[in-house]
Amino acid sequence: MNAFSITGERFLLTVRSKKLDVIDPQVTIRDVAKLAGVAPITVSRVVNNLPGVSPGTRDRVNKAIAELNYVPNAMAKSLRSQQSRTIALVLTDITNPFWTTVARGVEDTAARKGYNVIFCNTDEDLEKESKYINILLQRRVDGLIIAPSSNDEQCLLSLKRHNVPCVLIDRRVNGLKADVVRSDSREGARLLTQHLIDLGHRRIALLAGPFEVFTSRERLAGFLETMQKNNIPVDDGLIKEGMFEEDGGFQFAREILDCSPRPTAIFAANLSIAIGALRALREAGLRVPEDIGLVCFDDLPQASLIYPFLTVWAQRPYAMGVAAAELLLDRMTSKTRRHKAREIIIDADLIIRKSCGSELSRMREQGER
Partner DNA sequence: TTGTACGCGTTATCAT
Partner DNA sequence: ATGATAACGCGTACAA
Judge contact between 170 and 89, C-beta under 8 A. Answer: no
What letter does residue 96 receive in the DSSP assignment?
A: S
Position 138 contacts a second copy (CB under 8 A): yes
| Residue span 20-59 as binding mask against DNA, x where in contact by CB under 7 A, dash where not | x-----x-xxx------xxxxxx-xx-xx--xxxx-xx--
C-alpha–C-alpha distance, residues 106 and 322, integer Å:
5
Which stretches within the chain are classed as H helix? 9-20, 29-36, 40-47, 55-68, 74-81, 97-112, 126-139, 154-161, 185-198, 214-229, 246-258, 271-283, 303-306, 317-333, 359-368
Q: Are strands 143-146 and 86-91 parallel, antiparallel or unpaired?
A: parallel
Position 340 contacts a second copy (CB under 8 A): no
At 280, the amino acid letter reads: A
Position 23 contacts a second copy (CB under 8 A): yes
Q: Looking at 16, 60, 104, 254, which residue binds a second copy (CB under 8 A)? A: 104
- CB-nearer residue toward a second copy: 197 or 312: 312
The sign of the CA dihedral 111, 113, 115, 118 is: negative
| Residue span 66-105 as binding mask against DNA, x where in contact by CB under 7 A, dash where not | ----xxxx--xx-xxxx-----------------------
Residue 268 dihedral angles phi and psi, to the nearest 5°: -100, 135
Binding segment toward a second copy, per CB under 8 A, in 156-164, 179-187, 218-226, 344-352 = 156-164
Q: Which residues bind a second copy (CB under 8 A)?
A: 20, 22-24, 26, 69, 71-76, 78-79, 82, 84, 86, 93-95, 97, 100-101, 103-104, 107-108, 111, 116-121, 134-135, 137-140, 158, 161-163, 246, 275, 278-279, 282, 301-302, 305-307, 337
Q: Which residues bind DNA (CB under 7 A)?
A: 1, 16, 19-20, 26, 28-30, 37-42, 44-45, 47-48, 51-54, 56-57, 70-73, 76-77, 79-82
